[in-house]
């Protein structure tokens, strides 16, 4: 995920919307028990944290797949691994 996107995601005042989801009662009870152990004031912030964690993992995987596809395409077009690695190092340091 890009740094600009991460900064936007860390803004506590970004717009929110209400979502209704049906979940088993026992799952809610487990979330209520776990929330304070993870430092959350209630189970809803814990659910948001779990969703955010899974979302970041999937976005990183998606972006990583795109980068891998680009690298393979560049190799097929004759760009050397040395040039590709140099470009990746430059991007990583920005």
Element (H, E) at 58: helix 43-76
**Backbone φ/ψ region at 41: left (φ over 0), alpha (ψ -120 to 50), beta:** alpha
3-state secondary structure of 38: coil
Q: Is the pLDDT of residue 36 over 90?
A: yes
Q: How many Cα atoms are found within 13 Å in the side-chain-facing hemisphere of 16?
A: 7
* Residue 44: per-residue pLDDT: 95
Q: What is the pLDDT of residues 22-34, one digit of tens each?
A: 999 999 999 999 9
Domain assignments of the chain as residue spans, ordered by start: 22-92
* Residue 94: per-residue pLDDT: 63
* Residue 4: per-residue pLDDT: 65
Q: Are 73 and 64 in contact (CB under 8 A)?
A: no
Q: Tokens 């809803």 belong to which residue?
A: 44
The pTM assigned to this predicted structure is 0.62
């Amino acid at each position: 995920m890009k740094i600009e996107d991460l900064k936007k995601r860390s803004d506590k005042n970004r717009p929110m919307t209400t979502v209704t989801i049906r979940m088993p009662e026992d799952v809610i009870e487990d979330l209520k028990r776990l929330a304070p152990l993870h430092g959350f004031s209630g189970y809803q912030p814990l659910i948001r944290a779990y969703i955010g964690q899974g979302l970041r993992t999937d976005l990183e995987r998606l972006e990583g797949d795109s980068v891998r596809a680009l690298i393979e395409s560049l190799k097929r077009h004759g760009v050397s691994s040395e040039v590709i690695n140099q470009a990746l190092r430059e991007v990583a340091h920005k």
